[in-house]
């Protein structure tokens, strides 16, 4: 039996192979936009409207990555952020800094990013770094600050015709599940918070999950667990390029 056949027998599909995965997440090169998936999450700045609309034309829902909690040194809008709204670096990502989500200038910049997602043809937005309030940002941010900010951005995104994904922050699930359209999470098996995602499953909303291939997980076991839960799970590298495994 070939490796592919063995994996298929377990419900494990190589992304980009002959079997269909439900979704994929690709934020860095190399990309493979020809894969057969229903949902594909991408960084908007690497993909123009023509590319995004081509995905839509073959039935793929393109999801737009936007960091709502950080300044990124490599973005074209980096000079728009008020200096007083820039905080501490994001740990292992020194080219990113937390932002003051209460700052009106920051709110407008992020809304402009979301509007650009819509203009490029994306159908949904994943709002990353929602957990700025939990981190050492140099700002005195509260859970209530975060919820108000997230809800304002979600309402704006919906006004642009976009679905909205909650990103990580499982502690906010009870507060956000009714407003969000689906959720994307990283490492719920590693950090043991998959149970917290049940409200999305109960609501019939997608739970799109990633585990990383250097975590040492028993992939067969977590794959079976994810299927039993109704979680759509991928195994990816930390580079978040094309490729990996899908557990359908």
First-to-last C-alpha distance (Å) of the chain:
20
**Domains, the chain, ordered by start:** 3-247 (3.20.20.70)
Q: How far is CA 167 from the centre of its chain?
A: 5
pTM score, whole prediction: 0.92
What percent of the chain is predicted at pLDDT more than 70? 92
E strand map for the chain:
12-14, 23-26, 39-43, 61-67, 70-72, 86-90, 93-99, 124-128, 163-167, 182-186, 207-212, 232-236, 245-247
Residue 208 predicted with pLDDT over 90: yes
For the four alpha carbons of 13, 19, 24 and 28, in that order, the dihedral sign comes to positive
Residue 13 predicted with pLDDT over 50: no
Predicted confidence (pLDDT) per residue in 89-108, tens digit:
998 878 999 999 999 999 99
């Amino acid at each position: 039996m070939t490796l592919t056949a063995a994996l298929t027998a377990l419900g494990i599909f190589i992304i980009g192979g002959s079997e269909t995965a439900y979704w994929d997440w690709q934020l860095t090169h190399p990309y493979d936009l020809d894969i057969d998936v229903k949902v594909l999450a991408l960084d908007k700045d690497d993909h123009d409207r023509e590319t995004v609309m081509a995905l839509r034309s073959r039935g793929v829902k393109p999801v737009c990555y936007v960091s709502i909690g950080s300044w990124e040194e490599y973005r074209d809008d980096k000079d728009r952020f008020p200096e007083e709204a820039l905080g501490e670096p994001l740990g292992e990502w020194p080219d990113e800094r937390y932002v003051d989500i209460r700052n009106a200038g920051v709110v407008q910049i992020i809304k402009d990013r979301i509007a650009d997602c819509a203009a490029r043809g994306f159908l949904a937005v994943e709002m990353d770094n929602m957990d700025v309030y939990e981190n050492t940002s140099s700002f005195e941010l509260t859970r209530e600050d975060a919820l108000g900010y997230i809800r304002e951005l979600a309402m704006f995104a919906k006004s642009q015709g976009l679905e909205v994904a909650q990103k990580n922050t499982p502690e906010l699930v009870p507060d956000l599940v009714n407003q969000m359209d689906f959720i994307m999470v990283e490492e719920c098996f590693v950090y043991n918070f998959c149970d917290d995602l049940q409200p999305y499953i109960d609501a019939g909303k997608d739970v799109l999950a990633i585990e990383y291939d250097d975590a040492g997980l028993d992939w067969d076991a977590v794959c079976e667990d994810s299927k039993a839960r109704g979680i759509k799970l991928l195994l990816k590298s930390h580079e978040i390029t094309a490729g990996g495994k899908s557990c359908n």
